[in-house]
């Protein structure tokens, strides 16, 4: 059966360029070709013809590489439509964009792809070996003094040998970039004189954000920007690093009705956006509009965009912002088996691509953690909140009242892979574990602020969450009190240790590895400056914390017992799972009181791998969540002759002792700390 939606956008043929655009409700579309020297002057207009599937097309030898073009659309004024034949619209499939002096956008016909990928190949890092590093394409290198000044804050700066060396030495496997598809700032921010720094306001799903390219590439045009992006991917791949893109398909920069009409709204508003019968938008994203992925054209737009980035640009995976929106049906209800969610994981052209959901949006039934199809991994906000509570708010409450509000059971379930959230078939790798992300406090700020400090955002501190699960350890913000700073730094080591030693896929936010601060701003989306850029000059304590982060990632890599692929089953040997045994501080099997009592916040987690592809491995992790020191008796377990200490979070610089201890030995564990042993 012919594919009615094949080859949308511009395709170069022997007869000239062919443009295909879908619009089910338009009565007329025309292609506008602009003067070579003046992108505001229409040099030629060509009518487009419609087929039975709603695809409009035109072929012309004038539609050639280097040409700037737009689409104008006419249609009925019925409720839900928004046709205006005077507007120049962006082809949704444009592979290049050019901007006019007055700020309008034009499509740009790219030259045939001749980029030399050389011997570069996708690293194909297994999910169980994956360590995600969420970073900003500009912010990661903007302050790096070892990157040539003209490349700082660019794709080329990210791919600079010093940036790559840092990532390799840290040990992460996959760089997860905040949005790099072409985006613009919201109208509200422009009026305030601010910018959208994070990039969650996409203009076009097929073009790299031009401002992240070097000035030389920007002056070289949209083709040069594309080549710089590909060059970045190539160099990262050659270094063994994956590129994951944070993609925003849930809404577009056209905002609500009355916002800028640049593409989809003008082409077929009624089909591309979720609407009530009277034409008002059903906004489940909080951004003014929601892409209507219940329609075949919108679904195909997403799939074709993913194919382009994954194949033509060799990207390794995608993190889907507000992914629940993508899984809503024609009644705006979320469906686990939504055709788009299934297509993303099953599409032959997307096999081997990592797919990660942010499993919520702002609509009814918007929280869907654990409900995505097999093959998807999901951001686990329950993990985030419980780990913050255990190491921060519970400790603060214990100081204030004499008793922590929670026992250790909630931490243990998530440490072991969140089997209470994800199905047996999906396993622990369905969980993307994180303590922080781009939105919210940095890890250092979690330990230093009880409240957000967002006045710099221009919204009178109304923006950003108030539900931070943070604890300032007695002083709000920076302090010279040595006791407070030492306790904060140990809390950071505990958070990092928990994240990197838990079953699941860890995601580290750039800068947390050395304690970066945003001075209490937990929503720095419009802060494009040193507050959000990654600092490359570190204090001594930050270098110590960085070394701890490197060690923890190394321990994760070297100990398969820490990264099971499957959940274990009682009484069975499941390949690539982990056999877990739980002991209390006396070295005895955990009782119900040990799990639940706020007075007994100590456990010993003995985890043994069930080998399938790697050598047998067993570790012991001791977690102690009260501020008083505790005496722990190392557990007796069949086959265990000794425990070698690898890491103690009470030790500031993470010096590896490798001291051997026999089972039954009594050890002192410092207040609120962790110890990792290799069991022999």
Q: Which residues are annotated as catalytic?
A: 321, 358
Residue 310 DSSP SS3:
helix
- In the 8-state DSSP scheme, what is residue 184? -
Q: Are 649 and 674 in contact (CB under 8 A)?
A: yes
Extract the tokens encoding 573: 């040997």
CA distances (Å), origin 285, targets 104, 329, 373: 26, 15, 21
Q: Are 396 and 487 in contact (CB under 8 A)?
A: no
Q: Are 659 and 644 in contact (CB under 8 A)?
A: yes
Extract the tokens encoding 318: 């995608």
Q: Are 404 and 386 in contact (CB under 8 A)?
A: no
Residues 6+ apart with CB under 8 A from 549: 170, 496, 500, 508, 512, 513, 514
Q: Of 111, 11, 120, 101, which is closest to residue 60 (Cα–Cα)?
A: 11
Residues 6+ apart with CB under 8 A from 275: 80, 269, 281, 282, 292
Longest distance between any two alpha carbons in the chain, whole Å: 85
Residue 141 DSSP SS3:
coil
Q: Of 53, 67, 62, which is closest to residue 21 (Cα–Cα)?
A: 53
* Count of residues in the chain: 680
What CA–CA distance (Å, rounded) separates 292 from 268? 11
Question: What does DSSP say about strands 377-379 and 431-434: parallel, antiparallel, or unpaired?
Answer: parallel
Residue with token string 């730094």: 489
Beta strand extents in 222-349 (DSSP E only): 242-247, 317-320
Give helix then strand counts, H and E, for the chain: 15, 25
| Long-range pairs, 149-153, Cβ under 8 A, ≥24 | 150/214, 150/215, 150/216, 151/214, 153/212, 153/533
What CA–CA distance (Å, rounded) separates 107 from 93? 9
Residue 667 DSSP SS3:
strand
H/E run at residue 578: strand 578-583
∠ Cα 294 299 302 (to 5°): 140
DSSP secondary structure string for all residues of 170-182: HT--EEEESP-B-
Adjacent-strand bridge partners of 367:
360
Evaluated on CA atoms 146, 218, 86, 12, the torsion sign reads: negative
């Amino acid at each position: 059966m012919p594919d009615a939606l094949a080859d949308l956008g511009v395709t170069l043929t022997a007869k000239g360029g062919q443009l295909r655009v879908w619009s089910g409700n338009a009565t007329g579309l025309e292609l506008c070709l602009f003067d070579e020297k003046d992108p505001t002057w229409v040099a030629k207009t060509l009518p487009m013809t419609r087929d039975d599937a709603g695809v409009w097309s035109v072929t012309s030898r004038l539609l050639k590489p280097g040409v700037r073009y737009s689409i104008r659309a006419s249609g009925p004024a019925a409720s839900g439509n928004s046709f205006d034949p005077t507007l120049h619209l962006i082809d949704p499939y444009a592979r290049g964009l050019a901007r006019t002096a007055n700020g309008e956008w034009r499509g740009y016909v790219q030259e045939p792809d001749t980029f030399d990928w050389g011997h570069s190949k996708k690293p194909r890092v297994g999910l169980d070996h994956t360590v995600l590093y969420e970073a900003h394409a500009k912010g990661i290198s903007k302050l790096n003094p070892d990157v040539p000044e003209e490349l700082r804050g660019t794709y080329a700066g990210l791919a600079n040998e010093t940036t790559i060396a840092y990532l390799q030495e840290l040990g992460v496997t996959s760089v997860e970039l905040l949005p790099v598809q072409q985006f613009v700032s919201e109208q509200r921010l422009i009026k305030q004189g601010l910018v959208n720094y994070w990039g969650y306001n996409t203009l076009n799903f097929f073009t790299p954000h031009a401002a992240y390219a070097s000035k030389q590439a920007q002056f070289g045009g949209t083709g040069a920007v594309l080549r710089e992006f590909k060059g970045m991917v190539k160099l990262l791949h050659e270094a063994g690093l994956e590129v994951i893109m944070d993609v925003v398909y849930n809404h577009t920069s056209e905002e609500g009705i009355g916002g800028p009409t640049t593409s989809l709204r003008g082409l077929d508003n009624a089909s591309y956006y979720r609407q009530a019968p009277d034409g008002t938008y059903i906004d489940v994203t909080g951004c003014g509009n929601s892409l209507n992925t219940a329609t075949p054209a919108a679904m195909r737009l997403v799939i074709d965009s993913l194919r382009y980035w994954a194949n033509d640009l060799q990207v390794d995976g995608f993190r889907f912002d507000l992914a629940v929106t993508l899984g809503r049906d024609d009644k705006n209800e979320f469906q686990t088996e939504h055709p788009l969610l299934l297509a993303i994981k099953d599409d032959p052209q997307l096999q081997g691509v990592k797919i990660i959901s942010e499993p919520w949006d702002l609509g009814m039934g918007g929280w869907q953690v654990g409900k995505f199809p097999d093959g998807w991994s999901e951001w686990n906000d329950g993990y985030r909140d419980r780990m913050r509570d255990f190491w921060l708010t519970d400790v603060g409450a214990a100081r204030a009242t004499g008793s922590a509000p929670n026992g250790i059971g909630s931490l243990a379930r998530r440490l072991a892979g969140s089997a209470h959230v994800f199905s047996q078939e999906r396993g622990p790798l369905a969980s993307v574990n994180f303590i922080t992300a781009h939105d919210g406090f940095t890890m250092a700020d979690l330990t230093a602020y009880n409240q957000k400090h967002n006045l710099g955002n221009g919204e009178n501190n109304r923006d950003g969450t108030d539900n931070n699960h943070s604890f300032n350890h007695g002083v709000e913000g920076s302090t010279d009190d040595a006791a407070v700073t030492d306790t904060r730094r140990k809390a950071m080591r505990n958070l990092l240790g928990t994240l990197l030693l838990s079953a699941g896929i860890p995601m580290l936010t750039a800068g947390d590895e050395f304690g970066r601060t945003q001075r209490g701003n937990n929503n720095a989306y419009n802060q494009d400056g040193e507050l959000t850029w990654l600092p490359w000059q570190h204090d001594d304590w930050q270098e110590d914390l960085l070394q701890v982060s490197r060690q923890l990632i190394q321990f994760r890599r070297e100990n398969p017992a820490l990264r099971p692929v499957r959940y274990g089953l009682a009484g069975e040997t499941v390949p690539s799972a982990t056999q877990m045994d739980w002991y209390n501080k006396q070295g005895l099997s955990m009782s119900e009181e040990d799990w639940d009592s706020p007075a007994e916040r100590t456990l010993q987690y003995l985890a043994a791998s069930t080998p399938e592809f790697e050598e047998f491995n067993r570790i012991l992790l001791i977690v102690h969540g009260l501020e008083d020191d505790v005496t722990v008796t190392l557990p007796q377990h069949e086959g265990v002759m000794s425990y070698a200490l690898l890491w103690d979070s009470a030790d500031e610089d993470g010096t590896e002792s490798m001291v051997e201890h026999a089972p039954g030995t009594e050890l002192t564990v410092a207040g609120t700390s962790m110890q990792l042993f290799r069991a022999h």
